[in-house]
Amino acid sequence: MSRWLPLAVFLALAVLLGAGVIMNAGKTSTAIESPLIGKPAPEFALPDFADPTVMVRREDLLGRPFLLNIWASWCPTCRSEHPVIREIAATGRVKVVGYNYKDVADDAARWLGQFGNPYDRIIVDAEGRSAIDWGIYAAPETFLVDAEGIVRWKHVGAMTPEVVEEQLWPLLAELEAES
């Protein structure tokens, strides 16, 4: 009997693993639903990257839809997504706000100097305290917030041209149709 115990444990684990794979078939790691979708964006007061003596609040960003892109100089995936963020910003269809997450100011400035600054404004969360309210746990992540401050969409991971075409632009078109 004790000879068969390891095999029984292995088979039980294999069944559990198989059930998990089957239940998650077709889902991607970027399809993490945020509890903020359809709710007001969290209140915050964070320093402006350009002038840290100026505090930026949620209300300062309202009036037009904005894309909140969480990035950091230490994030290798942020580097690969950056050309896509630049392309989004270049269209002028949506205001792009950078959320510099748990970064060193000099490193972030050097990174922007090297790769370009596509952001209309950058807010800084050096300690990551406001990120908790947003449900941010890594970089990159991106939120679409409408003109009234309601979170409409969250994407975890790098923005890609496919994500922009298949998800972001259709959502922006819906927002434009509503206004």
Residue 16 clears pLDDT 80, i.e. is over it: no
Q: What is the tens place of the pLDDT at every residue in 45-71? A: 999 999 999 999 999 999 999 999 999
Q: What is the pLDDT of residue 24?
A: 53
pTM above 0.85, yes or no: no
Q: What is the tens place of the pLDDT at every residue in 107-161? A: 999 999 999 999 999 999 999 999 999 999 899 999 999 999 999 999 999 999 9
Q: 3-state DSSP call for residue 173? A: helix
pLDDT level of residue 8 (50, 70, 90 thresholds): low
Q: For residue 137, which of 151, 123, 156 has the smallest C-alpha distance?
A: 156
Dihedral angle at the C-alpha atoms of 129, 138, 77, 125, nearest 10 degrees?
0
Residue 29 clears pLDDT 60, i.e. is over it: no
**Beta strands, E only, the chain:** 45-47, 55-57, 66-71, 95-101, 121-125, 141-145, 151-156
Averaged pLDDT for residues 24-44: 73
Residue 74 clears pLDDT 50, i.e. is over it: yes
Q: What is the pLDDT of residue 30?
A: 44
Backbone CA torsion sign across 87, 172, 141, 151: positive
Q: For residue 151, which of 31, 28, 35, 57 has the smallest C-alpha distance?
A: 35
Q: What is the pLDDT of residue 75?
A: 97
Highest mean pLDDT among 17-21, 22-26, 158-162: 158-162
> Does residue 40 have a cis peptide bond before it, meaning omega lies within 30 degrees of 0?
no
